[in-house]
Structure formats: structure tokens, C-alpha cells
Amino acid sequence: MDILLMGPPGAGKGTQGAILSEARGLPKFATGDLLRDAVKRKTPLGLKAKAVIEAGNLVSDDIILGIVREQLAKPEAAKGVIFDGVVRTIPQAEGVERLLAERGRRMEAVLFFDVTDEEILARLNKRRNIEQRADDDPAAVATRLKAYRQQTAPVLDWYEQRNLLRRIPAVGSVEEIAQRARRALEH
């Protein structure tokens, strides 16, 4: 079963993705984590993507789809994957659909973690003090929110048209939101 998690930066996709991954016994794959790790290890991918990520812009669709292809080829991904923040543009949505189809699969559901901008800014502010992520500084956060609104929000409509989108109000306790996500996947 392949499930995609979407939502603005700071919506809690990572936390909920980890819970879902555990509950379903499926690997979670987050392009953000993978890219940050590549930057830290100074791999060719990391060196190429560093400046883009730290400014809060989106990495190119080609790079992202290359990463998705690699992840889907892993044996542990054979039964499905929890995609966390992987699809952020329409070409990426189309590309992921194609890569899944090559394996006789399709996206089963898209969970959209919905939070207000105010809440997001408060959360990212808090996270900046804890995690020290280079892209949580105020200028990069503003760029990420803009990229989200301009490039990623239209992807929600793309999935809505395919009847895959399930909206999860993402304010509340971690357990409350996890329960909403579980219910959303029941039908």
C-alpha cells in the first residue's frame, strides 16, 4: 500500500509518518531527510542540492524523481511506502504515478495535514531553537512557505480530482491526529 503525506512545512508529516510506518509495517521515505543527510555527508547529490535547500527552494523534479526511482527499487519498498513530503509539484505527482505504475502499483491515498499559517510559523520557530536546521531561519522559512503555496498547493487539487485526497485537521495532540489519520485510511 502506497500512501502520500502532504502538508505545509511544520504540519507534522514526519511525526505522523513515523507512527503510520510503524503501524503498517511499511518503510517511510522523506525526501527532506534524505536530502539533508546527503548534504551532511557531502555526497555529489548533497553538494548539488545544498544551496537550494538552505535557501528554502525546491530541488529539481529530475533529482527528486531519481531519488524516488532508487527508493522504489529497494527490496523493503516492495509492499508499499509511506511517502513523506515527496511530491511537491505537479510534474513530481505525474512522475511518481508513472514510477508506481511501472511496478503495477498506484497511490492508495493522500493524507493532507492541514494547519493554518499562524500555527506553522509558531511551530517552525520552536523547532529552530531545538533542531538547528539551516532551513528553519526566518528567510528560508518564508521561501519554503511561498514554494509550498505556489508549487505544492496545486498538487492537492491534482489528487482531489483523482479522488485520493483525505484532509486531516492537524492541530491537536499527536495521538488525536494519528487517530484521524488512521480513520481516514479506513475508507
Contact residues: ligand ADP, CB under 6 A: 9-10, 30-32, 35, 52-53, 56-59, 64, 85-86, 88, 92, 135, 144
- Could you tell me the smallest distance in angstroms from the CB atom of residue 101 to ligand ADP? 19
Catalytic residue among 13, 36, 105, 180: 13
Q: Which is nearer to ligand ADP, 126 or 183 (CB)?
A: 126
167 in active site: no
Q: Which is nearer to ligand ADP, 146 or 183 (CB)?
A: 146
Q: Which is nearer to ligand ADP, 31 or 71 (CB)?
A: 31
- Could you tell me the smallest distance in angstroms from the CB atom of residue 187 to ligand ADP? 27
Catalytic residue among 50, 123, 128, 133: 133
Helices (H), the chain: 13-24, 31-40, 44-55, 61-72, 90-101, 117-131, 138-147, 153-161, 174-184
Catalytic residue among 48, 127, 128, 182: 127
180 in active site: no
Residues 6+ away with beta carbon under 8 Å from 170: 7, 11, 12, 16, 113, 114, 115, 177
> Which strand ranges, in their side-by-side order, compose the sheet holding 107-114?
28-30, 82-84, 2-6, 107-114, 165-169
Rounded Cα gap, residues 5 and 25, in angstroms = 16
Q: Residue 3: how many CB atoms within 10 A of its CB?
A: 25
Q: Which is nearer to ligand ADP, 74 or 183 (CB)?
A: 74
Q: Which three cell numbers stand for residue 34?
A: 534524505
- Could you tell me the smallest distance in angstroms from the CB atom of residue 85 to ligand ADP? 4
24 in active site: no
- Could you tell me the smallest distance in angstroms from the CB atom of residue 144 to ligand ADP? 5
- Could you tell me the smallest distance in angstroms from the CB atom of residue 54 to ligand ADP? 8
Q: Which is nearer to ligand ADP, 35 or 177 (CB)?
A: 35
Angstrom distances, CA of residue 161 to CA of 12, 99, 100, 110, 152: 24, 20, 18, 12, 15
Angstrom distances, CA of residue 50 to CA of 54, 132, 177: 6, 16, 32
Tell me which residues are annotated as active site: 13, 88, 127, 133, 144
